[in-house]
Structure 1
Amino acid sequence: MTYIIAEPCVDVLDRACVEECPVDCIYEGGRMLYIQPDECVDCGACEPVCPVEAIFYEDDVPDDWEPYVSANVDFFDKLGSPGGASKVGKTEYDPPFIKGLPPMGEED
């Protein structure tokens, strides 16, 4: 089990969680952030600092956002476990589900 970042993060990319993560396991895609499950130590430090409340323990992801669990898996199928997000930096990759979403995070 791990933490999952869900819909409120799409196109927001606040990064407060990245700064708080003690093990550097939160990776940046083109439109959102992803938590590497093999690198995450389940400390939960990221969850309370997320300003848009997008981070959930995997078992607590709301039903409407269940596809984000698969999107997280898909992101790391391609990237693997590089041993730290700072080694990789921002990628422009997002899984097809995320790429296909309409623009979000913008208030008119």
Structure 2
Amino acid sequence: MPHVITRHCAGTCDTVCAQVCPIECIHGPIAHATLRSVPAAERGVRFPGVQLYIDPDECIDCGCCVDVCPASAIHMDCDVPLELRADIEANARFFGRRVR
């Protein structure tokens, strides 16, 4: 079961999760270096609605990303809160996949 980044990441885009990922399966529509170049307090304004995603086919479920996420946006796909369940499909869609 892969981890999923939920909409709570939107506008935060703190790339620390990507930095700790041992297989580099966390991506987004904007390069990590670009996100890191903008102060955290300005990311929500500069990148509204932008978030990061975890490739469900590459994630090895190590959990390294979970504890470092400042937005508490990362969950195991089976533990995503009910109100955020649509984010599982959104995460897969970002990588051109369907939920299994």
In structure 1, C-alpha distance between the alignment counterparts of 2:76 and 2:53, rounded to whole Å: 13
Counterpart of 1:16 in structure 2 is 16
Counterpart of 1:28 in structure 2 is 28
Matched, 1:67 2:74: no
Moved more, 64-73 or 30-39: 30-39
Deviations 1:16-71 (A, max 9, x none): 10111000000012511000011111100000000110000000000000110010
Structure 1 counterpart of 2:95, one-letter code = F
**Partner residue of 2:63 out of 34, 37, 44:** 44
Between the two proteins, the alignment pairs up a number of residues equal to 78
Counterpart of 1:106 in structure 2 is none
In structure 2, C-alpha distance between the alignment counterparts of 1:65 and 1:29, rounded to whole Å: 20
Runs of 4+ in 1 over 4 A off after TM superposition: none
Structure 1 counterpart of 2:51, one-letter code = M
- The sequence identity of aligned pairs, in percent, is 41
Deviations 1:61-93 (A, max 9, x none): 000001100101111117xxxxxxxxxxxxxxx
Q: Which has the higher contact order (CA 8 A, sep 6+)?
A: 2
TM-score normalized by the length of structure 1: 0.69
Structure 2 counterpart of 1:45, one-letter code = C
TM-score normalized by the length of structure 2: 0.74
Structure 2 portions without partners, runs of 5+: 31-49
Counterpart of 2:76 in structure 1 is 57
Moved more, 26-35 or 56-65: 26-35
